[in-house]
Amino acid sequence: MLLIKTALLACTLLLTSGAGAQEATLRKNLTERLPQLQKIEEVSKTPMPGLFEVRVNGTDIFYTDAEGNYLIQGSLIDTRQRRNLTEERVDKLTAISFDALPFKDAFTIVRGNGKRKLAVFEDPNCGYCKRFERDLQKVDNVTIYMFLYPILSADSTEKSKHIWCAKDKAKAWQDWMVRDKPAAVASCDSTALDRNVEIGHKHKINGTPTLIFSNGTRVPGAIASAEVEKYLADSKN
């Protein structure tokens, strides 16, 4: 029995060592041959034999062979299960826990009893956001955590600063988004906006509006109030 256990341990160590050497070769070849490729943060096997996932820049995914002779950029699809494995992987890497959001960098809009929760990232120059905000007026009994997310232009940053520095942020925001009434020029510590952009880039929030519900569901785009109601109901389950 002892001999069997010793042999199994030796095999395990050999396989581990082999895998480590293989990864080292892969990393070395890609780094030397593609110096423009950012630092490789993780190498892992994929369900496809001989294909490895290479992760750089936090959430950017590439695929390669065991020696790094070829590099593929694109989606890996499981045709049997009809699943986009690359998309699922990126979703997992960019997932945002609702409770972990930096709520100190947002302001709240409370309607009705405010029991339901929703976080939204929006740019004040986003036309889709304006349409979304006007339809969102129909949704009641909700607390909305509004993260100003100025990514469209320099003017987006200026408008966001004026809203963030307003005495009543929620009113200034809705006056602009719903009633086209610009916020008065104001100044204050607006570093929260920089942090919002930073966390948005980290989690690949590439467009506005982006909605995050209390169960972690993330929805990009200006959805109708009826869809918001459905997601709010689902997030309670």
Could you read off the pLDDT of 72-86 as tens digits, one per residue?
999 999 999 999 999
**pLDDT confidence of residue 10:** 41
Under the banding of pLDDT at 50, 70 and 90, the label for residue 21 is confident
The pLDDT value given to residue 68: 94
More confident residue, 104 or 236: 104
User: Mean pLDDT lowest for which of 91-100, 111-120, 191-200, 211-220?
Assistant: 91-100
CATH 3.40.30.10 in the chain is located at 98-234
Confidence at residue 237, expressed as pLDDT on a 0 to 100 scale: 58
Q: What is the pLDDT of residue 133?
A: 97
Determine the pLDDT at residue 18. Answer: 56
Handedness of CA 120, 121, 125, 131 (dihedral sign): negative
Please say whether the beta carbons of 163 and 133 come within 8 A.
no
Give the pLDDT of residue 85: 95
11 has a pLDDT exceeding 50: no
For residue 26, which phi and psi values (nearest 5 degrees)?
A: -60, -50
Name the one residue in this structure whose structure tokens are 């339809």.
135
Rounded to an integer, the average pLDDT of 128-146 is: 97
Segment 26-45 shows an average pLDDT of 92
Decide if 122 contacts 148 (C-beta within 8 A): yes
- 2-94: in CATH 3.20.20.70: no
Token couple for 106 = 């947002």
Q: Which CATH architecture has domain 98-234?
A: 3-Layer(aba) Sandwich (3.40)
pLDDT at 14: 40
Is 14 or 110 the better-scoring residue by pLDDT?
110
Does the global pTM surpass 0.85?
no
**Start-end of CATH 3.10.450.70 domains in the chain:** 2-94
Percent residues over pLDDT 90 in the chain: 77
Q: How far apart are CA 202 and CA 195, in angstroms?
A: 10
Q: 190 is written with which tokens?
A: 């607006």
Tokens standing for 9? Answer: 């341990």
